Amino acid sequence: MRLRNITGAEDKIAESGYVVQEATNRKGKWKELFGNNNPIHIEVGMGKGQFIHGMAKANPDVNYIGMERYSSVLLRAVQKMEAEELPNLYFLCEDAKNITDIFAKDEIDRIYLNFSDPWPKDRHAKRRLPSRQFLERFDGILKPEGTLEFKTDNRALFEFALEELMPAGWKAQAVTFDLHHNEEMVKGNIMTEYEEKFSSMGNPIYKYIIMR
Ligand code: SAM
């Protein structure tokens, strides 16, 4: 998601109490930020934050961290928090390729990827968030029993993501090619901005839940 550059977005992000600055200093100590021992779930490539804000509101006993690399996009999530503050949600303005510098081994209980950028050219495959290269990074921060959940409306990206599982040493716990008509998997589903847009156009939503 590339929003128009918003003037002053970087300064606003740097000043916001909802955005953790110098995140690498928190590695291994994220529980201290929340002041409790609740599990930590993160969304990588959060966009404007509708999903994670909704999740944090619905699940006060879980701590949430949303990661987004563009300040102009992240600003929208910050504005949602200004409108409705939640104690269990923080944001990071970071590129996920550095995620193992930010979180320690076994620090994270669940990872969400929603409507990740498809990077359609073969030579860019390693930039895709469900690629084996990113799964290896996620493996480095997720608890052994932790899970990763991925939703998309992009069939080619979803098939690629499924093919990446075995070589990366992960396995599917649940898979659907039509989330909104899967009674079991749709329970508690909170829609992202992209999910609302593409499902309203009639696109099926694909989802997997994976573990090591
Ligand atoms: N998850 C939101 C949704 O479903 O509505 C946004 C989807 S948008 C297509 C993908 C978002 O992921 C963009 O905002 C992009 O900037 C962010 N993103 C992509 N690669 C990233 C990375 N390596 N690190 C952090 N954010 C990333």
C-alpha to C-alpha distance for 40 and 106, rounded to whole angstroms: 10
Ligand 1 atom with minimal separation from the 95 CA = 24
The pocket around ligand 1, CB under 6 angstroms, is made up of 1, 45-47, 67-70, 73, 95-97, 114-117, 192-195
Distance 12 CA to ligand 1 centre (A): 19
Domain ranges of the chain: 38-211
> Taking all residues of the chain, what is their mean pLDDT, rounded to a whole number?
97
- Residue bearing tokens 């589903």: 189
C-alpha to C-alpha distance for 70 and 82, rounded to whole angstroms: 19
pLDDT in tens, 124-134: 999 999 999 99
Catalytic residue among 95, 109, 117, 139: 117
Ligand 1 atom with minimal separation from the 195 CA = 4
The residue nearest atom 21 of ligand 1, judged by CA position, is 45
pLDDT of residue 4: 63
Residues 6+ apart with CB under 8 A from 77: 46, 47, 48, 49, 52, 53, 66, 68, 91
Catalytic site residue 95? no
Q: Which token pair is 98?
A: 């550095």
Distance 44 CA to ligand 1 centre (A): 7
Distance 182 CA to ligand 1 centre (A): 25
pLDDT of residue 173: 98
pLDDT in tens, 41-87: 999 999 999 999 999 999 999 999 999 999 999 999 999 999 999 99
pLDDT of residue 6: 79
pLDDT of residue 3: 57
Identify the CATH homologous superfamily for domain 38-211: Vaccinia Virus protein VP39 (3.40.50.150)
Work out whether strand 142-152 and strand 206-211 pair parallel, antiparallel, or are unpaired.
antiparallel
The residue nearest atom 8 of ligand 1, judged by CA position, is 1
Give φ, ψ of 82 to 5 degrees. Answer: -65, -35
Which stretches of the chain score pLDDT less than 70? 1-4
Q: Which of 55, 116, 191 to mutate to test the pocket of ligand 1 (most atoms within 8 A of CB)?
A: 116
Q: Which of 67, 68, 131, 198 to mutate to test the pocket of ligand 1 (most atoms within 8 A of CB)?
A: 68
Distance 86 CA to ligand 1 centre (A): 22
Question: What is the reported pTM?
Answer: 0.97
